Structure 1
Amino acid sequence: MSSTPPSRPVVVITGASSGIGAALATRLAHTHHLVLVARRAEALRALAGQLGSPDIVTMAADVTVRSEVEDVVETTLSRFSRLDIWVNNVGRGITRAPSQLTDADIDDMMQVNVKSALYGMQAVLPHFRLVGRGHVINVSSMLGRVPMATFRSAYSASKHFLNALTANMRAEVQETHPDIQFSLVSPGVVRTEFGRNALHGGPDSHTLPNSQSAEEVAEVIAQVIADRRADVYTRSGMAEMAVGYLRELGRDP
């Protein structure tokens, strides 16, 4: 282990080989030391080469496997002697109506969208407690607030689960360590390969209305790293939409 930790913060980004993860890596490359994690080793190496920093660490890992997430923490601390920010960005969609969901569908959504984030939070927490400070950012979804797309039913449910889990983790940890933050970032439709890669196929996210670029979402995440807000939407009007949805549910029939 290096005897002198680097002066720049160290951030781990999961799902970093494309989409929001790659855009965030590009946004932070000149201000943070990066540990880029994904299953596709060649794509990670290509991204690191494009960014051109000698201090970028790439790790091919499956973050739905707890032991591989723990290896990321150990490798990061061995390389940099510090770990400041952990971004849980891995996620997968699904295209299936709720009446048609199978056990396998639910298991897949929970493993990818919830357990991967839980493993990250639990793996990094001992180090954050040791140093008294740290920041986890969980990338959620507007569908985790307003389940307005029935064909994404199990995905929406998994993001609702992630939101509650994040809030409860924050409340537990901050009872004793108030400088450890757990933030949620909720995008809407983002122009990535999310739609094409959804379980059972689905519409291309690039073709859907009211979409954002991955770079726009990355900019919001970078702002959250700076200001450590707990719960953030990536577009104006989204918070009001969520509040309106809850109000509508509470109205008398």
Structure 2
Amino acid sequence: MNDKVVVITGASGGIGAALARQVAGQAGRVVLAARREPELRQVAAQCGPDALVVPADVTRREDLQRVLDAALGRFGHVDVWVNNAGRGISKLVSELTDEDFDEMMRVNVKSALYGMQAVLPHFQARGRGHLINVSSMLGRVPYVPFRSAYNAAKHALNALTANLRMEVRERFPHIHVSTVLPGPVATDFGVNALGGGPDSRRLPNAQTPEEVAAVIQELIARPRGDVYTRPEYHAQVLAWYDTADQGAPNKA
């Protein structure tokens, strides 16, 4: 990591915590942001004395600015910003309330937007930087109906990420904007979903947080646009969009 300063939201557990440990293990310096301060401090203790804990609610724009300010105050610059915080839902489209939908957009889209807008001026001033948004395969192929508004939020996040990449490409070729697309991951995501739901840790073929974190760490070392956390996911996306009526029942 060459002493890179990496800000990670949603760092109190799951993918964010695993990524923090891996970055710190490769001599990177981590800034850990999430609401759960005790858990953040436990992760920081595993990352060494340079780890910076910044308790923050990522759905509040001013909190994301405070995370940036704390990182700059400690380290003087930020090299990589990872918008990893997110939350699922277990409701069909027909069951969604206004608050359900708004919550999915707040946690999964607006939090990332606030992070992007907070760090972008710093990256532009330096002429370089790497912004990584952790999305989901469900943001490409919404084949789990009860994730409904979560699927919609991740589709929106993918679009914003792609548009920011286009926005900075010509004037700032050394600012990289990436999307990471995991499938099921063995974390407490499922049980923490709005409305409850199946435990992601018991899903067949779920990746470990460490596997996904390793993909993100490799992405930091070799920046590019969209990255699937398993090679076969790309083929699944192509197959989905090659179908005339996606999600229709098999009538064969």
Do they superpose with TM above 0.5?
A: yes
CA deviation string 1:14-56 (max 9, x = no partner): 00010000000111113211100110111111111123x1111
Aligned sequence identity (%): 57
Matched, 1:42 2:35: no
Counterpart of 1:84 in structure 2: which amino acid? D
- Structure 1 segments of 4 or more deviating over 3 A? none
Secondary structure of the equivalent of 1:46? helix
- Cα distance in 1, alignment partners of residues 220 and 40 from structure 2: 22
Matched with 2:205 is 210
| Structure 1 unaligned blocks of 5 or more | 1-6
Q: With structure 1 as the length reference, what TM-score do the two structures score?
A: 0.94
Counterpart of 1:132 in structure 2: which amino acid? G
The match for 2:54 among 52, 55, 59 is: 59
Counterpart of 1:41 in structure 2: which amino acid? E
CA deviation string 1:69-113 (max 9, x = no partner): 001111111111110000000000000001111111110000000
Secondary structure of the equivalent of 1:79? helix
- Cα distance in 2, alignment partners of residues 249 and 154 from structure 1: 23
Deviation at residue 180 of structure 1 after TM alignment: 0.6
Matched, 1:226 2:233: no
Deviation at residue 175 of structure 1 after TM alignment: 2.5
Matched, 1:125 2:125: no
TM alignment of 1:29-178, pairs within 5 A: 29-30=24-25, 31-51=27-47, 53-178=48-173
Q: How many residues align?
A: 245
131-140 or 24-33: which moved more?
A: 24-33
- Cα distance in 2, alignment partners of residues 98 and 250 from structure 1: 18
- Cα distance in 2, alignment partners of residues 246 and 239 from structure 1: 11
Deviation at residue 151 of structure 1 after TM alignment: 0.3
Deviation at residue 183 of structure 1 after TM alignment: 0.3
Counterpart of 2:86 in structure 1: which amino acid? G
| Structure 2 unaligned blocks of 5 or more | none
